[in-house]
Amino acid sequence: MAEQSNHTDGRTRTCGLIGNPVEHTMSPVIHNTLAANFGHNLVYVPFHVEKDLDKAVEGAYALNILGMNVTVPYKTDVIASLLEVDELASRIGAVNTLVRMEGGYKGYNTDMPGLYRAMKEDGILIENADIVILGAGGVARAVAVLAADKKASRIRILNRTVEKAEAVVQEVKEYFPSVDVQAMPLSDYAKLDGKEWIAIQATSVGMFPKVDAAVIEEAGFYEKVKVGYDLIFNPSETKFMTLLKHAGKEAYNGLKMLLYQGIIAYELWNECEVTKEQAAVVYEKMKKEMGC
């Protein structure tokens, strides 16, 4: 359908974002562009929620809000306020999308399906691949669950504090007992065999404004990697990505993951399918918004 301007009237449905802060979110660009493109009578707005998360979710339902995204710091805490939680979101332990159902909201995690869809579009498949994850926080845990769920061949979790990586390994093995997943200290990267690893950078190191750092800066690590994904999207090229490129390897940032997590949420709310062409229009608007 041809793009048309967003408008509001008595039939307009509302979706939005719960978080703190929300002032710099890109989500309105994604959802309002999609609504205009589809001709859906829908608007998307951010809601800055400083406290009383449960009341915010209850209020959203009372106000007939169609769906919500959830961002930091509430992706785990929001689970207690939901009627139902999707299996993948339950395994990951984080929800970023609420879909309205009778009596409340069902929680989904579209971040990891968004990463998977972005990687597939770039021609990178997790299935039967060797995955090395940098970091052992909540995002790294989610990536590890995704990799196990998609039947990666080997998963290695590298972290400065190896005990945190080991805790992620144990959590992954609870759901996927036969998966080859191991924890390693960052300094042991040389023990990774071969040169075909897909590296996923899942920490905040290198994020704006502290852009001059990478979790691993030694060139030897990047020789072992065939392609890398930094889940950071600001700056558009992180030091991790620069080091990959210096080694002659492909490097991607997290902007396309952000795009597709939003698209999947939009599809859940509106029971529709976003085409590659529609996704490309949104992606260009996001890049323009970021000045890249």
Strand partners, 15: 44, 67
Exposure class string for 197-224: b at 16+ Cβ within 10 A, else e? bbbbbbbebbbeeebeebbbeeeebbeb
In whole angstroms, give the CA distance from residue 69 to residue 146: 20
CA 239 to chain centre: 20
Residue among 55, 75, 106, 151 flagged as catalytic: 75
- In single-letter form, the type of residue at position 160 comes to R
Using alpha carbons, select from 178, 163, 218, 226 the residue that is nearest to residue 199.
226
Strands 154-159 and 250-252: unpaired
75 is catalytic: yes
- Backbone phi and psi for residue 232, each to the nearest 5 degrees, phi listed first: -75, 145
d(CA 91, CA 96): 13
3-state secondary structure 181-249: EEEEEHHHHHHCCCCCEEEEECCCCCCCCCCCCCCCCCHHHHHCEEEEEECCCCCCCCHHHHHHHHCCC
Give the C-alpha separation, 110 to 105, whole Å. Answer: 15
What would the two tokens of residue 275 be? 């085409």
> What residues act catalytically?
75
